């Protein structure tokens, strides 16, 4: 039902602007409410449409000026552009976005890039990003266009991320210092004996000081005792590193609790590792 309301709200707002309905509303905040992917695509396409109209207006204005100098008024044609939105105001929509395919991913990335330009009449801002089934390459592009000051939550499930992928993405994710929730579950990440991935994750946690919830679900075949090998099944150095990794997560939870941020909740197969 909430999706219906956000869909109606976004569509009504854009249609009011198109019809030049008098309004003082310049900033529509729909964050915290679910938005269907079709609405994300709808808003992104309008963002690009308004931007392209502005560029066309500049080109046509330059053309008209050239023709004005070389032709008489009676002989030349003055070209104009019908603008979708009121040209003298700037509008922003903030929302929780989701993307699940390449086409919508490309549209959203373009809209996010355009929204950061100066003097843009219509832009989108993402508060929570749910990127599913688009893969590491597209994730890398998307994360570059998200604004750290706006983003509060990031879900990256079902993207076939590997340990090497986490190492590559960790610096990008570390930029989002305001996020309170990070979901890396349901990927192909096996932390066992992959020290570089664990180090990347620990370094990332040091930058994400507002985290309250972390999703790390191990989906590969694992021993019955939990996601990390027992002491007798791995070398001493590797086991010590894994214990340090667990201690890092536990320290993060303890620090958050100490600061009164409700503590960090970990989604793992064996929660006893983090208690």
The predicted structure's pLDDT at residue 75: 65
Which of 60-69, 121-130, 172-181, 228-237 is least confident? 228-237
Report the alpha-carbon distance of residue 239 to residue 198 in Å, rounded: 12
- By percentage, how much of the chain surpasses pLDDT 90? 40
For residues 83-100, average pLDDT: 86
Is-contact 162 189, C-beta < 8 A?
yes
60 Cβ partners below 8 Å, 6+ apart? 79, 80, 81
More confident residue, 262 or 51: 51
More confident residue, 219 or 160: 160
Q: What confidence tens digit (pLDDT) does each residue in 106-133 have?
A: 999 999 999 999 888 899 999 999 999 9
> Of 157, 127, 126, 158, which is closest to residue 43 (Cα–Cα)?
126
Is-contact 99 134, C-beta < 8 A?
yes
Is-contact 60 80, C-beta < 8 A?
yes
- The model's pTM is 0.76
> Of 125, 101, 99, which is closest to residue 111 (Cα–Cα)?
125
CA distances (Å), origin 30, targets 50, 97, 129, 236: 21, 10, 13, 51
Report all structural domains of the chain as residue ranges with CATH numbers, in order of start.
2-16+24-274 (3.80.10)
């Amino acid at each position: 039902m909430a999706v219906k309301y956000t869909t109606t709200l976004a569509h009504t707002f854009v249609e009011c602007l198109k019809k030049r309905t008098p309004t003082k509303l310049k900033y529509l905040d729909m964050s915290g409410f679910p938005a269907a992917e079709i609405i994300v695509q709808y808003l992104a396409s309008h963002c690009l449409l308004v931007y392209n109209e502005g560029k066309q207006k500049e080109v046509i204005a330059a053309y008209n000026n050239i023709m004005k100098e070389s032709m008489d008024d009676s002989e030349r044609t003055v070209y104009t552009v019908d603008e979708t939105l009121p040209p003298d105001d700037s509008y922003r929509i903030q929302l929780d976005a989701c993307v699940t395919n390449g086409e919508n991913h490309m549209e959203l990335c373009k809209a996010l890039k355009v929204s950061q330009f100066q003097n843009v009449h219509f832009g989108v801002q993402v508060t929570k990003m749910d990127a599913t089934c688009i893969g590491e390459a597209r994730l890398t592009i998307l994360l570059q266009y998200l604004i750290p000051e706006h983003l509060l939550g990031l879900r990256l499930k079902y993207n076939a991320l590997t340990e090497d992928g986490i190492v590559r993405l960790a610096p990008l994710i570390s930029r989002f210092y305001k996020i309170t929730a990070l979901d890396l579950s349901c990927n192909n990440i096996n932390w066992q004996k992959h020290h570089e991935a664990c180090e990347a994750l620990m370094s990332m946690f040091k930058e994400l000081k507002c985290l309250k919830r972390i999703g790390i679900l191990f989906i590969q075949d694992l021993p019955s005792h939990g996601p990390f090998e027992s002491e007798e099944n791995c070398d001493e150095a590797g086991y010590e590193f894994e214990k340090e990794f667990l201690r890092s997560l536990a320290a993060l939870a303890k620090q958050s609790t100490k600061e009164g941020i409700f503590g960090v909740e970990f989604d793992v197969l064996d929660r006893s590792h983090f208690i």
